[in-house]
Amino acid sequence: MSDELIGYLLAVCSLSSFTLSIMVTRLASPHLSMTLGFVVSTAVNVLVASLIVVADQVWQPHPIGWHAQAFWAFVAAGVCATFMGRWLFYEAVSRFGPERTSVFQIGIPVFTAALAWLLFDERLSLPALVGMALSVTGLLIVGHKRGALRLGSSGGGGSLANSLLILGFGSSAAYASGNLMRGYAVREWPEPVIGALVGAVAGLILHVAITPGKGDLLAQLMRASRRGLLMFAVVGLGNIGGQIFSIASMRYIPISIAVLIGMCTPLLVFPLSRLMLADSEPWTFKLLGGSTLALAGIVLVVMR
């Protein structure tokens, strides 16, 4: 199996994991506040990544080594993606639903490709660029909804902080910055699980530090809905799986392509929402046509 094929398979695994996280976030949000949910999911990130590192060392011991620059890049990625990006994204999913919010993830590969080109001179072939453009266009068609990008929340407030536009693009920019740092770090220090663990620890520390009433955090968790806690634990499992697979894939394929495949969640979120959620969007020619265009773009990227 070629390195390139391994990279694509890892990116597809990342896509599946992130889709699971998005869907369960919507189902979990009525049962637990996003503040507590973030703590639970990020704590699960730390726990699962730690267990994987320990199990790997027990099963097949090997020297981990040390790379200070890559370590701090993983820390910075955790601040940008695990903390800022995920927090903004969770807020958007909770307020506006997974279908409308997942559309903003198309900005992540675009921002990532631009930053990778500017900072790392990572150039893509013409077919790959065309494929990326087709995928982004298809996802825009899939997710476009009249008034979806208006400023102000759907609940009537006019605050920019509550708008889908601010939350969506803010999350995309934060995730893109984190992805770029992870791509650089994993090529210097090929330890994707440790990288995900470092980022998760950084994100958890920051979130707990700014959470109001953190002194009562344990008591809040003890009083919280068990169903909500369990659901956000599943969200955390999906997130850490998506991160590990995504970071690992960046060792084998360009960062922007790995991110593009991993972030095509609308192609799975829309049909799954139709099956699982009562308030999902109906099937339309626009949805089917946009999905087809996005998939054709991904095929072109992979077959470039």
* 96-110, 177-191, 208-222: the lowest-pLDDT one: 96-110
- pLDDT at residue 144, rounded to an integer: 55
User: For residue 216, how many other CB atoms are within 10 A of its CB?
Assistant: 11
- pLDDT at residue 236, rounded to an integer: 93
Q: Taking Cα atoms as reference points, which of 221, 219, 216 lies closest to residue 233? A: 221
Assign 122 a pLDDT band (cuts: 50, 70, 90): confident
Q: Taking Cα atoms as reference points, which of 248, 78, 208, 225 lies closest to residue 233? A: 225
Q: How far apart are CA 71 and CA 48, in angstroms?
A: 19
Assign 173 a pLDDT band (cuts: 50, 70, 90): confident
In this prediction, residues 41-67 reach a mean pLDDT of 89
Assign 150 a pLDDT band (cuts: 50, 70, 90): very low
- pLDDT at residue 279, rounded to an integer: 55
Identity (one letter) of the amino acid at 167? L
- pLDDT at residue 197, rounded to an integer: 94
Q: How far apart are CA 155 and CA 63, in angstroms?
A: 54
Predicted TM-score of the model (pTM)? 0.77
Interval 214-237: pLDDT, tens: 677 778 888 888 999 999 999 999
* CA-derived radius of gyration, the chain: 19
Instruction: Name residue, tokens 């889908």.
Output: 164
- pLDDT at residue 167, rounded to an integer: 77
Q: What angle do CA 101, 102, 106 make, to 5 degrees?
A: 115
Angle of helix 226-249 relative to helix 255-262, nearest 10 degrees?
150
Instruction: Name residue, tokens 């094929």.
Output: 5
Of these ranges, 35-44, 163-172, 179-188, the one predicted with the greatest mean pLDDT is: 179-188
User: For residue 34, how many other CB atoms are within 10 A of its CB?
Assistant: 18
104 pLDDT more than 80: no
- pLDDT at residue 161, rounded to an integer: 43
Residues 6+ apart with CB under 8 A from 74: 181, 182, 185, 194, 195, 198, 199
